[in-house]
Amino acid sequence: MKQTLPVMLALLALAGCGTSQTAAERENQFSRNETSLEAAQRHATLQCQDAQQCDAVWKLAQTYVQQHSDTPIIHADAVAIDTDLPTRDGRVSFSATRVNKGNGATIALFAQCRDMYGTEKARGSSYDECYEKITSAQDKFLDFVRQGLQRN
């Protein structure tokens, strides 16, 4: 028993070293994730060409917000779809805006997640969970709209 305990402690220490990230690795991962979030936001922004297409896209955007937000829609009109603010950590809420441009419009899906960030945009305790939910939903938005338009 006296020899087994030190060996077990050494193995546990080595196992911990093999799985822990250094501060620099965590910072690099955070930076990569932030870049991915920016790309996901760009993927969740689209242009529609005319009133008929924009109205169809806007209806699809409202459906998408309703399906993917952890909070209910509290306001929807011709230019904004808003959901309630998340009240629990790791909960995501989506919103959308419609900015008319000539005959068309720019429609964008936005996200926020409770406790994703701490002070001064530092990583919050729910960052990883929020990151997964937001990037997944925003990256799939354009395909959802395209498929919806093809069905109509």
Counting other chains too, the contacts that 111-119 makes at CB distance below 8 Å and 24 or more residues apart are: 111/137, 111/138, 112/85, 112/86, 113/86, 114/85, 114/86, 114/87, 114/88, 114/89, 114/90, 115/89, 115/90
Write out the two tokens for 23. Answer: 């501060």
Q: State residue 9's pLDDT score.
A: 47
CA separation for the pair 152, 148 (Å, rounded): 7
Residue 148: other Cβ atoms inside 10 A? 16
Is the pLDDT at 139 greater than 60? The verdict is: yes
CATH number, domain 4-151: 3.30.310
pLDDT digits (tens, 9 = 90+) for 3-31: 554 554 454 454 444 456 798 888 899 99
For the segment 130-138, the average pLDDT, to the nearest whole number, is 96
Domain boundaries, the chain: 4-151
Q: State residue 152's pLDDT score.
A: 74
